[in-house]
Amino acid sequence: MQVSAAASVKRIPVSFLVASFWLGVMSIAGIVQAQPTPSSPESELKRAQFTELEKQLGRASRKKVAALEDDVAALKDYPLYPYLLRQQIDQRMDMAHREDIESFLLNYHNQPFTYGLRGRWLRYLATHGEKKAFLANYRDGMGATITCQYLQYQLEDAGQPEYWLEKVEPIWLAGRSQPDECDPVFKKWQQAGMMTGDMVLGRIEKAALSGNPKLIPYLKRKLPAKEQYLADLWQRIRTSSSLVLKKSQFPLKNKETEGKILAYGLEKLAWRDAGDAIKAWYLWQPADVFTQQQQLDVTRAIALSLAIDDKPEADEWLKRADVSGAADDVKRWHMSYLLRHERWQDVLDLIAAAPEYVQQDEAYRYWQARSLEAMGLPEQAGIRYRELAQERNYYGFMASARVNEKPSLKHIATPRSDENMQMIAERPAAKRAQEFLALGRLIDARREWRYLVNSLDTSQVKDAALLASEWGWFDQAIISFTQSGFLDDVEKRFPMAYAEQFDDVGRAYDIQPAFAMAIARRESSFMVDAVSPAGARGLMQLMPGTAGYVAEKRVSTDELFDAGQNVQFGVQYLRYLMDKMGDNPVLVSASYNAGWRRVMEWLPAGGNVETDIWIETIPYKETRSYVKAVMAYRYIYEHQLGQSSGLFEQLAKSAIPPATGLSSPGGRAGGTYAPK
């Protein structure tokens, strides 16, 4: 978890940020998160006209589209006018309007309202046999269907087809079924002798690893008879990893491929039954079937599986796995295992032997200081704690508590350029984003904003972030600040979003607003229409079933996308978890992410475990990072709300009890979520 960084201006791709939240989004009519500009009767009239025209064009005949041309032209100065032009073009997709279509694509190159248009135009041209126009409009990266059609056209006239056939390989090597348009190209590729056995095996491997086993029987038929058993092995190992224990099933006639299958099966088996995986490991060692990377991968899986389950053999296997070239999480779990058993000298030795870049990581610096403290060397520990305490992150805050110092926030306001902000606000994409916000169409607004930010110079991204912040567009302000590299503006990166709602509901259910706001900040960055891959929705990312359970009624999607109601249900759920987990904020945070039943399984079996050690040994990486982030965010929001905070002092002095040691504070029965 990273809360801080030097105020550099390194640009971070939007794709990274969106992947780090793992959030999809839905557009819900009526959601208005931000009002960037005051409404006027004129602007409201134009929005109403645009909305009505958009509806009419969406269902209009060609004759009706022509009849609406004057109405569309009347909105020429309205920011969303290009979207109406796009609708006109969608309804006139034919060769008679080729010039209009291609001019639109040229003039508005890659702007959001053109998305999908080139592909639609190319599909039309292919369907109607307009080869020359198709080739003129094709661009790379259009997907398998269009690319295969393009290659098919090129191969029809190619004097030297080898050039075009070489482009088939990346299309072939996909772990999923490809469209029918690719079949003629694959056939010519095969006839040219380029569909080798290795190519077929490569695609079988991708199909197996990407979870598309139905493709394997089709590919098996393309292998020579003597190699078809390899397809069967891939198919079987997916459903039965214990196959690696049966030496007779692997004749090693194709050592390289069988080694891949065995390594894959061993990794799967290690997570299910590390003991059986160890047996299989020793079974295959004399055969020398594994590459160096495969050995690293398999020993990692065995070591981590043993460490997570705290098995006695974990010590030996962690030493085997923690070698040069190993994944970063091997050393982290090696340290966590030693911490769990309070082997402080071994922790120090492990860190001392690590590469310099590892030693400088805040986690290793904290645990180095912690080990020195545990070994009775407070002065050496204090030096390291105080140095780390200058950083704004979970470990910095923990270090502060260890030396009884106030955690450092180091807030630095982002330098402001009114000239740049005005320039950005006047850009067409910014105006379109404003209009979509006013219309409550948040997906469209974000799409325009991403296009805008990606078109700016790196130095101007922070001005866009400030602009979004002034608009009250919390999620895009947070994301844009991260892109800009200006991470020290604590007030803007941790906005007081929906603070009144969090305060009102928090009082009713005895939940500190700072805690609930920290959860919402981590869950969605205050994106009111956020949807996770699992289906969690809204500010506090609630599953519909969870919201319905605490509300004791069926909860609709619209309710979950309403900020006020989402806060209500989310805080109720926090109260429910607090009652389950003895008002322990660490256990509640972990439960919010991973589920309280799973967290109960992670509680100590015997005596208490110190809180920081328990957090460091949470089995799920996502939950470990989540808990650290929420604790740090909660402290920041306590500061933002002007509250005194003893949170990290509490974490530094407390311990996580066994399940039998949990109690419901105040005599509340578990599962009570009525207001106090």
Q: Which residues are catalytic?
A: 523
Q: Give the Cα separation of 172 and 195 in Å (integer).
A: 9
Q: Which residue, chain included where needed, has tokens 């939007």?
A: 14
Q: Are 113 and 83 in contact (CB under 8 A)?
A: yes
> What residue has token string 């926030």?
409
Q: Give the CA diameter of the chain.
A: 87
**602 Cβ neighbours under 8 A, 6+ residues apart:** 590, 614, 618, 619
DSSP string, 585-620: HHHHHHHHHH-HHHHHHHS-SSS-EEHHHHHHT-S-
Any bridge partners for residue 655, and if so which?
A: 610
Name the one residue in this structure whose structure tokens are 């990072």: 625
Task: Give the single-character DSSP code of 659.
Answer: G
**What is the DSSP-derived secondary structure letter of residue 542?**
B
State the Cα–Cα distance between residues 452 and 14, nearest whole angstrom. Answer: 12
C-alpha separations of 116 from 93, 105, 122 in Å: 13, 11, 10
Could you tell me if 548 and 461 are in contact, meaning their C-beta atoms sit under 8 angstroms apart?
A: no
Two structure tokens written together for 326: 């190993």
Q: From residue 512, how far is each of 333, 364, 418, 502, 508 by CA, in Å?
A: 33, 31, 37, 8, 10
Q: Are 125 and 135 in contact (CB under 8 A)?
A: no
What is the spatial distance between Cα 250 and Cα 272, in angstroms, rounded to a whole number?
Answer: 21
Cβ neighbours for 452, distance < 8 A, ≥ 6 positions apart: 424, 427, 429, 430, 433, 464
Q: Is 424 helix (H, G, I), strand (E, B) or coil?
A: helix
d(CA 159, CA 236): 44
How far is residue 535 from each of residues 397, 542, 630, measured CA to CA in Å?
33, 8, 21
Burial of 81 from C-beta contacts in 10 A (0-12 / 13-18 / 19+): buried
Query: Which residue, 521, 430, 518, 526, is CA-closest to 476?
Result: 526
C-alpha span between 503 and 513 (Å, rounded): 5
User: Is 247 in contact with 282 (CB distance < 8 Å)?
Assistant: no
By the 10 Å C-beta count (0-12 exposed, 13-18 middle, 19+ buried), 330 is classed as buried
Q: What is the torsional sign of CA 590, 501, 644, 661?
A: negative
CA distances from 24 to 27, 446, 529, 555, 596 (A): 10, 12, 9, 20, 25
Question: Which candidate, 362, 336, 309, 308, places its Cα nearest to that of 612?
Answer: 336
Distance CA 460, CA 464 (A): 7
Q: Is 473 helix (H, G, I), strand (E, B) or coil?
A: coil
Using the Cα atoms of residue 119, residue 124, residue 127 and residue 132 in order, give the sign of their dihedral. negative
Alpha helices in 312-377 (DSSP H): 314-321, 328-340, 344-353, 356-359, 362-374
